[in-house]
Every structure is written in structure tokens, then in C-alpha cells.
Amino acid sequence: MSSAPSNDMLQADRIAAGPDLASFFSVSLDLLCIRDREFRFVRVNQAWEATLGYRVEELEGQKMAAFIHPDDMPASLGHMQRLEIEDEVVGFINRYRHRDGTYRRLEWRARRGGDHVYGVARDVTERLELEAQMAAAREEAEAANRAKSDFLANMSHEIRTPLNGVIGVAAALAQTDLTPAQRDMLDLIANSGATLERLVSDILDFSKIEAGRLEIETRPFDLRAEFDGLLEMFRLRAADKGLAFPATFGESARGEFLGDSVRLKQVLGNLLSNAVKFTHQGQVAVVIDLQEQHANQPARLVLEVADTGVGFEPEFAANLFQRFRQADSSITRRFGGAGLGLSITRALVEILGGEITAASRPGAGSLFRVELPLPRARPLADYDLAQASAAPRRPAAPRTEHLAALRILLAEDHPINQRVVELILAPFGVELTIVEDGRQALAAHAADRFDLILMDMQMPVMDGLAATRAIRAREAPGGVRTPVVMLSANAMTQHRDEAAAAGADLHLAKPVTAASLIEALGLALA
């Protein structure tokens, strides 16, 4: 470890052989010395006594090795010998014994001049100890952060299991005949479940951001196709509150782009969720546009969400993007929320290389604007040509009446999740066989024929990944291949990649809803 040489060091280099050497030796705060070819101190200055406790006369004439820590001797001798062929050695650190028996760490700069070597040393003991303490504290903090992230990830998984039951059963119940009062109660259950799921996801995401472990993936995606479903969902939410919901796509904001569509939808979804929540009358307006850049510069995606809601004072704008903060303390009491949404949104925008701004006036609504780089995956002209060609060949959506003939194997160890899938598929006449671990799934697959396997990723005895690999190894090349849909409480890239590598055809994240499960079945069987 080296540091910039002090002025004393530089001055020593300039006048080491000059007539002012004696006066320089007397005023320098660094440890100065001259040694001979036998590695003996020829001359030292008073700073040695202040640092190591030895008087000048006790050091001069003595071999340097007598004061060096035994463990540092090989490296120290090596550096001393280097000066026989090199002019200078810089930044070497070794330990010298203090008069009281302790050791001090000295950082050296030495230069050869004739038969002598002129050295300048600095006591860096406290500096190195402080650096070690800071490194240890940093490691401890990082370990604590990792432990917290692991804890939250595990808790997220444990919370999602019963939450999957609440949301899944509510979705299955919604398919049955209900009275208006029952429908209202079911909607309350579904909305509360969705709110809880969003809160769990926010806490987990924030933990990942703090730990620097948030995954950002880059893949091609159709910008409008990705945003259409999100906009439709918030259009319905706005309509429930009697709000207009104009959404504008810029002419250039179409095509195939390279980026993380999941995180982009999370950014826009957070902004829309806040806008609808804090607006009681008027509208929530969305603008999605693209600013084309010069050559070799990616286009910039522009997202604007404007509302006619409660607004906030301009001085509160900075607080909005801080964790667990709202524009004022009454917000949480009146509207709920943990105050994480906008903090996560800003972090996501910054990770994606963009920026977010907010402007508002109390009672006059708010405007949030996001700009971030978003390169095209292919030229717009090629995209339009491909879309026109694909339109006549686009297959019809799968019809649910075809599900009646399906024989499905479900490998899932949790009774609640088993019941959720059972309730969702029961109205369609699906023949469902349930096993509790991967080994049982292998036995069932060997004994019978199934049209599809729903495989939980985490199970006792044998997990879903191992079971899927075993099934794929068993299937004869060119023979019957049973589609496998992997179920997991996590939707991270790592888990999707692991599922695909094991041979799964699709990865379906929990909580499983009727819509997501039916869609997954259609895609896996297509």
C-alpha cells in the first residue's frame, strides 16, 4: 500500500547529497536514514527517536535487520537488494520494533546514491489500523445487509405461500355465481391481497436495491405490447373512481427495444398507482413518447403521468423520493401506503440510466416525468414490415373449453397451493393428479401419461429442477415430450434461467391466479 510522497520525501531526494543535508536531517518530521551496502545505519535523524524510542547513537552503526520484524525480513531484504540494480524503491511497508517491544509499520521510499542508500520512512501504523477497521466495518455492514436481504427473501417466500392461497382462491371464487354483496366482499379480499402482494414486493425490491443485488435484464420487447395491459388495468381503476384516463403513445414510441420491460412497467405502474390513489375527480393522463437521438446515441423513453389530484407543496418534492416518506405525515393516515413506491421508482430509473422529476401545486395536481435511454432492438421500418407480415398469421387465443380433455400432474408440497390450482382448474373439467415432491412426480410420470406437468421449484425430497431434469433425461429423443410449467414464488431472472436450463417450457411466478394459470397452460401447450 503506497501513498503520495510527502514534501520531506521529495526534498530529501533533491538534497540528499548536498551541503544542506545536516540541516535537513534536523528539521524533517519523517524518518530519514542513510545506509551502507552492509545494510547498516550510517546516519539517522531525530524523528527515529520520536517514532521508535531509540536515540540516534543507538541506531547509527547498527544493522537494520536487528529492528525489523522477523516475518518481514525476507521481503525487506529483497527490497534492499533491489536497490543494487534499481535506482529507487517506493511504497514498501514493513514493521520496525519500538524500544518498548511493540512494532510500528513504516512506509519506505529509498534511492541509491553511490555506495549508500538514502531512505525516507513514514509511520503509517495508525493509518493502516484505521483502514483495517473501516474495511472490517464495511464487511460487517455488507454481511448484515446480505443477511437482511436473505431474511427478507425467505420471508417473502413464506409470506407469498399463504398470500397465493388468498389471491388464488379469490380468483377461483370469482368464477362462480355470487350475490352482489358476496361480489363486493370478494372484491375487497382480492384488492387487499393485491395490496399486500405489492407491499411484499416493494420491501423485497428495496432490500435488493440497498444491497446492490437488484437484477436488471436486457432483452428485446415490444414497447406498446408491454404497456397496453398495464394501461388497461389502470384505466379500469380510474373508471371505478369516475376519472378520465387519456393515454397517448407518441408516433415514434412503437417498435422493438432492448431493455428490462418488467422494471419499466414497474416504474410506470408505481407512478400510475400514486396518481389514481391521490386523485378524486378529473383525470389521470399518461404520455409515452420517444426522443430519437443522434447517431450512436440510444433513443430516450419519456414517461409522463399528470393528475388533477391533491398535489403537494413544491418544497416537499425532494421528500417524495426518500424511503418511508410522503409529502406530509397526513398522507399515510388518509391514503395508506408504506412510502416505498417512489423511492423504488427513483432507484430503478437511476439504475436504468435515467432521471425522474416531479412538479406540483396543492390542490392542482402533479406531474411526474421520467427520461431514460432505451435503444431500439431493430430499425422501426423492419419492425413495421414484420408486424404487417405476422398479422395474417397470428393464431387465435387458446379457448378454455379445450382444457376439459387435459390430464395434468401437479407437483406441489403445500396444501394451500394444491387447493388453489385445484379450485382454478375444477370448472374446466381438468383431470388433476397431485403429488407432494419431485420423486413422486417422477414415479407418476413413469406410471401414467400426462398432457402437462405443473412443477413447484422448491419441494422436499427432490426439488422441481432436479425432477424436471430427470424427466427430460428419461424422455426418448424424438419421442413424446411432456410440457413442464415451473411454479416459483420468485420471478427473478436467475430462477427463470434455472427453470429453462432444467428443461421447463415456462416459468410461472406465484401467486398463481386463474388468468395467469390459464394463459400459461395455453402457451405451454401451443
Concatenated DSSP letters of 101-139 = S-EEEEEEEEEEETTEEEEEEEE-HHHHHHHHHHHHHHH
| pLDDT tens digits, one per residue of 195-246 | 787 777 777 777 777 767 777 888 899 999 889 888 988 998 899 899 999 9
- Whether pLDDT at 301 is above 90: yes
Grid cell for residue 409: 400432474
Q: How many CB atoms lie within 10 A of CB 239?
A: 11
Name the amino acid, one letter, at 489: A
Q: Using N-to-C axis directions, what is the helix angle for 125-173 and 415-425, rounded to 10°?
A: 40
Grid cell for residue 474: 428419461
- Phi/psi of residue 248, each to 5°? -120, 125
- Per-residue pLDDT averaged across 348-355, rounded? 93
* Euclidean distance between CA atoms 202 and 504, whole angstroms: 28
- Whether pLDDT at 384 is above 60: yes
Task: DSSP letter for 329, please.
Answer: T
Contact 373, 300 (CB under 8 A): yes
Give domain 401-525's CATH superfamily.
Response regulator (3.40.50.2300)
Among the ranges given (237-246, 392-401, 437-446), the one the predictor scored with the smallest mean pLDDT: 392-401
If one looks up domain 138-211 in CATH, what number appears?
Answer: 1.10.287.130
Residue matched to cell numbers 520484524: 69
Contact 499, 465 (CB under 8 A): yes
Terminal-to-terminal C-alpha distance of the chain? 62
- Phi/psi of residue 402, each to 5°? -75, -15
Give domain 7-123's CATH superfamily.
PAS domain (3.30.450.20)
**Within a 13 Å sphere around the CA of 121, how many CA atoms are in the beta-carbon half?**
25
pTM above 0.85, yes or no: no
* Euclidean distance between CA atoms 324 and 413, whole angstroms: 36
Give domain 219-393's CATH superfamily.
Histidine kinase-like ATPase, C-terminal domain (3.30.565.10)
Query: Domain spans of the chain?
Result: 7-123, 138-211, 219-393, 401-525
Grid cell for residue 246: 387519456
With CA atoms as reference, report the closest residue to 112 among 91, 86, 92, 130. Answer: 86
